[in-house]
Amino acid sequence: MRNDLYIKAHYGESIPRYPVWLMRQAGRILPEYRAVRQKLSGFKELVETPSLAAEVTLQPVDILGVDAAILFSDILVVPDAMGLTYEMIEQRGPFFPQTIRSEQQLTLLDENPDVLDRLSYVFEAIKLTKKELNNRVPLIGFAGAPWTIFCYMVEGKGSKTFSESRKLLYTNPQLAHELLERITDFTIEYMRQQQLSGVDALQLFDSWAGILGHDQYTEFGLKYVHKIASAFRGFPFTIFSKGAVASLPEIAKIESTAIGLDWNMDIQETRNLVGETRTLQGNLDPCLLYAKDSIIVKETNKLLDSFKSQRHIVNLGHGVYPDVDPEKVKILIKTVKDYEIKYN
Amino acid sequence: MRNDLYIKAHYGESIPRYPVWLMRQAGRILPEYRAVRQKLSGFKELVETPSLAAEVTLQPVDILGVDAAILFSDILVVPDAMGLTYEMIEQRGPFFPQTIRSEQQLTLLDENPDVLDRLSYVFEAIKLTKKELNNRVPLIGFAGAPWTIFCYMVEGKGSKTFSESRKLLYTNPQLAHELLERITDFTIEYMRQQQLSGVDALQLFDSWAGILGHDQYTEFGLKYVHKIASAFRGFPFTIFSKGAVASLPEIAKIESTAIGLDWNMDIQETRNLVGETRTLQGNLDPCLLYAKDSIIVKETNKLLDSFKSQRHIVNLGHGVYPDVDPEKVKILIKTVKDYEIKYN
């Protein structure tokens, strides 16, 4: 690997500068992405066409100079492969014509979906990307955490409260656990095949972690995050539980090489929880990229100065917002690259 | 006041049982509310008609037996009165045809809006409610916190990220502060007139506190919450900064009689921060009311057992969800009323 800063950071090895990449860097903000996208019938066509998924995965490496590529895909390929198909509606988001809110509806899922067959397009995209990356930077694979996938399978669409999904935790906790178990088992298989196809690291996105109270997130969220993370012990693995500020002490106990932090999570407090046993990823406010250049430089340097350890990967605290100017991202990346680590 | 449990709880006075009420109790879940509502052209007509606003304010006192009434109104009457009108679109939420994102657009606001004139319908509704309540239970007045009102005035509608509003904090912090100052000053006048019209307590709702990182919420949120709370020192006053888990230490420093907690905020940790100097309100998960009766009783008793002090007001951690069965709310209220405090 010519640039292995991202991997070294996961293991706490000595690095001359911090690695930097952006969640949602593949897609959204790049005109080169939109040029690919507008030739297609829809978002799912892009996700399911390996050559195109590989192409847009590589764009931010070439154009923005990030230290890692992340596969262009979607967390909802998992429920899709399990038998619950979704549509991606422009300007509105995902929509599942059928949802799972009863034992009866659980039969909508296929009994033993073959991950290799169902998600072959993902593994093909990984192989193509790895080939074209030619070891320039590592490739990150990912999946949604079971609680977040559960939210979509029960609610059927995005929501501010996901009250249908949370309702099930009270009305039928047994069914909730059964569904979460099935998502977990399939996700482990899925991430395993990503690993075998060549990804250099994995990240688990628990986007809706923050809507559960502490005890429910422990029971219905972290239990399954723990099971997945344990299956990849020793491999570069990031847990990102957005919004779960109150659960950081429990997240700190789950074995993984890295923890993703949103912009509400305090870096020093998390460092105190994990010591030097974990790498912390994040946590700039995505809105910083709307500021003028000098503010981006100043705030990024402020973040870098706040690090008291080598074990950091610079990123936003959430996916980059769609209307951000790519030139602003370049300012952020240059600032990180210009900054020399003092803790060697 | 025949039932003054809610007021006594604010001051930490001795009470035989904990008071209980629900955010959004007026409206939404009651068939009696929907009967009033469906005769009208829209939500704003109800807000702006004092006799009807008073009628639906009283409904939960009569039907559910809560220990406090909260005025039926909307936090968006403030921008409306300042000169930025909104429409309430069915199934979608508020929409502002004009927004404030530049100094130029700041002139859309009226120079010196007369609160007594502009919001006379609110003060009239308070007087009518107080008369009809006839001292059965206290009446709570409320307003949105400046940051939350700012979010709507800049974004123009609801949003998952409020990225336009947060963008302004980076691109034009001076303008942001100017707008926040104007909202703050008007809100103090507004709450003062609510007080003079007869409300027995006030609550400040910072619904979008949780989307700001700690430092920005201190600068653009709590600064103004502090200014408002200081204007009502000694009066029963609740600060509810939803989602601002990381800012609880700062909220604990603002003088108010009570702090509202969402279901992600830990009661014991907050108690450790404030000692016996503040009353804590909350924090049941609104989804608990979807559970079967025995679970509601069990979880409510668990909450009550966790209290190590008299200084508590029972409530949900957010507004009651629209599809909740009022009978479930009655179970919650009965459980609280049946529970005897052990700390006299």
Q: Could you tell me the residue range of the domain that residue B129 belongs to?
A: 5-287+312-322
Is B152 an active-site residue?
A: yes
ipTM of predicted assembly, 2 dp: 0.93
Chain-chain contact of B246 with A263 (C-beta, under 8 angstroms): no
- Average pLDDT on A84-91 reads 93
Which residues of B fall within a CB distance of 8 Å from A158? 160
Q: How many domains does chain B have?
A: 1
In this prediction, residue B12 has a pLDDT band, given cuts at 50, 70 and 90, of: very high
- Average pLDDT on B209-224 reads 97
Hunting for tokens 């949003």 — which residue is that?
Answer: B159
Please state whether A134 falls in left (phi above 0), alpha (psi between -120 and 50) or beta.
Answer: left
Is A28 an active-site residue?
A: yes
Chain-chain contact of B170 with A210 (C-beta, under 8 angstroms): no
**CB of A344 within 8 A of CB of A310?**
yes
Query: What CATH number is attached to the domain comprising B70?
Result: 3.20.20.210
Chain-chain contact of B288 with A170 (C-beta, under 8 angstroms): yes
Hunting for tokens 């709702």 — which residue is that?
Answer: B205
Tens-place pLDDT, residues B117-139: 999 999 999 999 999 999 999 99
Hey, is the C-beta of A161 within 8 angstroms of any chain B C-beta? yes
Q: Can you give B211-258 as a three-state secondary structure string?
A: HCCHHHHHHHHHHHHHHHHHCCCCCCEEEEECCCHHHHHHHCCCCCCE
Chain-chain contact of A264 with B161 (C-beta, under 8 angstroms): no
Interface test with A, best of B29, B101, B167, B266 (most A CBs within 10 A): B167
| Rounded CA separation A31/A37 (Å) | 10
What pLDDT was estimated at residue B342?
Answer: 79
What pLDDT was estimated at residue B316?
Answer: 98
- pLDDT above 70 (res B344): no
The answer to whether position A138 is within a domain reads yes
In this prediction, residue A201 has a pLDDT band, given cuts at 50, 70 and 90, of: very high
What pLDDT was estimated at residue B145?
Answer: 98
Arithmetic mean of pLDDT over chain B: 97
B93 in helix, strand or coil? strand
Tens-place pLDDT, residues A99-122: 999 999 999 999 999 999 999 999
What pLDDT was estimated at residue A343?
Answer: 72
- Average pLDDT on A280-287 reads 97
Hey, is the C-beta of A275 within 8 angstroms of any chain B C-beta? no
Is B24 an active-site residue?
A: yes
Show which of residues 56-75 on chain A sit within 8 Å of chain B, judged by CB atoms: none
**CB of A296 within 8 A of CB of A1?**
no
Nearest to B291 among A171, A213, A318 (CB): A171
What pLDDT was estimated at residue A36?
Answer: 96
Q: What percent of chain A has pLDDT over 90?
A: 97
Interface test with B, best of A23, A164, A170, A172 (most B CBs within 10 A): A170
The answer to whether position A344 is within a domain reads no
Tens-place pLDDT, residues A158-196: 998 999 999 999 999 999 999 999 999 999 999 999 999
The answer to whether position B298 is within a domain reads no
Tens-place pLDDT, residues A305-340: 999 999 999 999 999 999 999 999 999 999 999 999
Nearest CA in chain B to A287: B167
Which residues of B fall within a CB distance of 8 Å from A213? 263-264, 285, 317
| Rounded CA separation A203/B191 (Å) | 48
Tens-place pLDDT, residues B31-55: 999 999 999 999 999 999 999 999 9
Hey, is the C-beta of A166 within 8 angstroms of any chain B C-beta? yes
Q: Which residues have a Cβ under 8 Å from the Cβ of B116 and sit 6 or more positions away?
A: B123, B193
Strands (E), chain A: 69-70, 87-89, 93-95, 139-144, 201-206, 237-241, 258-260, 279-284, 312-316
The model's pTM is 0.95
Is B285 an active-site residue?
A: no
In this prediction, residue A344 has a pLDDT band, given cuts at 50, 70 and 90, of: low
The answer to whether position B307 is within a domain reads no
Element (H, E) at A206: strand A201-206
Is B166 an active-site residue?
A: no
Hunting for tokens 């949900």 — which residue is that?
Answer: B316
Which residues of A fall within a CB distance of 8 Å from B246? 245, 264-266
Which residues of B fall within a CB distance of 8 Å from A169? 287
The answer to whether position A343 is within a domain reads no
Nearest to B214 among A161, A167, A266 (CB): A266
Nearest CA in chain B to A292: B171
In the structure encoding, which two tokens stand for residue A21, read together? 């990449």
Q: Is A343 exposed, middle or buried (0-12, 13-18, 19+ CB in 10 A)?
A: exposed
